[in-house]
Structure 1
C-alpha cells in the first residue's frame, strides 16, 4: 500500500506463518489439525512465555481463590482453547453449512432473531471467548444474515489484507478500525436495519469507558453503547464457550437498554458496565475459553499508557485483528 513503510523481517515472517496456516491447515483432516493445535498449545504453555504468564495473571482475577496448581491447569486449558480457535479459523472456509449448523448451538437466540425481524438494527457485542469467527459464520449461513464488523490495522499491511479477505470470504463486511470513518458506516448499516458484530472487551482507542471488571478497573470501548444511542439499534451481549470438539455453544443475553435519563456520557458508562457484567458472567463460567493474553486492567498498565499513550489499553488485540 502506498505510503506504508516496508515490512520488517519479523513482520514478513508473521505474515508468512499465517499464510501457511490458511494454506496448509485447512487441508488437514480435522483430527490431525486438532492434535496439531494441542501440541502447539502445550509447547507454548511449557515455555512459559509472556503470553502464557499474562493469561495466568488475568485468570487469577477471574478465579481469585484458585491455587497455583489450578491456575496452571486453567492456563494450559486456555492455551489449548486459544489454539483450537486458530485451527478452526484456518479451516472455517472448508466447513459446510451443515457442519456449522450441527456444531454451533446458540441459546436464547430469540433476542437476536426478534431484533432482526423488527428491522430496527442489532448490535452484537462479544468478549474474547471461544471462536467469534465461527459464531459469525453461524449468523451468515444458518440465519442467512450478513453483518458488518471492524478489524484492527495490522502490520504488515499484507497480514491485515489476509484477515479482511478471510472474513469477507465468510460473509462479513469488514471495516478498518483506524481512521474514524468506521463509526459512521456502522451507524448507517444499523439505521438500514442491518446487523453489526463487535468484539468489544478491550479498548483500542485510549478513550474507552472505565468499568469494574472482576472487581478492578479497566476500559472498554464506548462504540457499542454510542451506536445504540445514536441509531436506536438493539444492543445484545453475547458469550461463547467450547464443548467437546467441534461443538461450540453461545448465549445471546437480554438487551442492554438505553437509560431514560442522564447525560450521554452517563448513559454510555451505564451501558458499557452492563456489557462488562454480561461478559464477566460468561467468562466466570468458562474461564478456560477466555483468550486474553494481553494486559487488560489499568493497574497492570504502565503509567504513560494509563494516560492514553503507548500500547496498553489503547493498543490492539494482536494478530487476531479483533475490533
Structure 2
C-alpha cells in the first residue's frame, strides 16, 4: 500500500466530499477500530486509566470509544482544511485565555506553546496564523520521504511553517524564528521523540516528555504557555458558517514562571514539570480529546531500552 499516495489523495480531494458523508465514514471507521480492540486502542485505554484512576475498566472502555471517534475526527478535519475558507476557519475555532499570549504578540514578541496530542492542532495552527501571529513548528520526519514532503506542503498551505525534527540546526532555526517575532511556536511535547527528553510526574505517574518547549523558551527568552485543545459541538448560525458540526476550543493557560535553578539542565526540568502539571489537569478534564495511542509512561517502556535512552541523555 502506497501510504504517501493515500494521504496525498485525501489532502487533495477529501474537501470535495460532502461533510455529512465524511463525518459518517469517520465515525464508522472509529467504531470498527474500537470494536477490534487492537494494540493502539488498548494503549489508549491504558493511558486513559493512568490519568483517570477514578474510572473503572468499563468506564475507561466507554471513554476510549469517544476517544477514537475524536481521533478519526481529527484526520477528517485535517484532510479537509485546504478546502475551508477564512470565514469557516473563524467559525470553527473559539479561543480561551488569549490574554495569556496576545500582549506579548502585540508587542512584537514570540510565545512558545507546549501542546499535547489533543483536539486538532492543525486547525488551531491554521486559525492562529491570521488571528494571532505566524506559526512556526517542527514535525517528525515521516517515511517514506514523499509522505513528509506532502505533509509539509499541506501544513504550509494552511499557514503553518514547518521544520523537520532531527535536521541539523533545527533548534537554532527555531530560536531565530522566535527571536524574529511576533510568532507562535507550538511544539507537540507529550511524547519524547529524541534521547533528550525529561522525565516528569504526570498525574502521579512517571512519564517522559520532550524538553523542547522549555529549552526553546529559555534560549529565545520567550514565555512558555501550556495549551489545551478540545472539540466542541457547534449549533445554529456558527454551525452554518463553519460548514461543520464540530469546532475546537484553544485554551491558552497561564505562562509557566521561569524557575530559579543552579544550572540550565535543572531549570529545563523544572520548567517542563510546570507545563506538564498544567496540561495534566486539562487532560483529566478533557480525556477523550487526548489522541495518545503510544507509550508515554515510564512503567510501560522497555526497561533496558529506557536505560539506554537515559544513558545517552547523561541521566545515569
- What residue is the counterpart of 2:259 in the other structure? 259
User: TM-score with structure 2 length normalisation?
Assistant: 0.91
Aligned mates of 2:296, 2:283 — CA distance in 1: 14
Aligned mates of 1:243, 1:37 — CA distance in 2: 17
1:52 aligned onto 2:52: no
4+ long deviations beyond 6 Å? none
1:93 aligned onto 2:101: no
Residue of structure 2 aligned with 1:225, choices 211, 214, 217: 214
1:27-70 CA deviation, whole Å, 9 max, x = no partner? 11111111111011001111111101100111111211212221
1:236-276 CA deviation, whole Å, 9 max, x = no partner? 11101111132211210111122234311111111100111
> Secondary structure at the residue paired with 1:266?
helix
Unaligned runs of 5+ in 1: 1-11, 310-323
**Does the 8 A contact of 2:106 with 2:182 survive in 1?**
no
**Does the 8 A contact of 2:226 with 2:279 survive in 1?**
yes
1:115-170 CA deviation, whole Å, 9 max, x = no partner? 10122321111111110001101101333x21211011111011111110000101
Q: How much does 1:226 deviate?
A: 1.2
Aligned mates of 1:125, 1:150 — CA distance in 2: 12
1:27 aligned onto 2:16: yes
Q: How much does 1:227 deviate?
A: 1.3
| Pairing of 1:1-323 with structure 2 (within 5 A) | 12-143=1-132, 145-195=133-183, 196-244=185-233, 245-308=245-308
How many residues align? The count is 298
Q: How much does 1:16 deviate?
A: 2.6
Q: How big is the alpha-carbon RMSD for the aligned residues of Structure 1 and Structure 2?
A: 1.5
> Secondary structure at the residue paired with 1:243?
strand
Aligned mates of 1:305, 1:223 — CA distance in 2: 21
> Secondary structure at the residue paired with 2:199?
strand
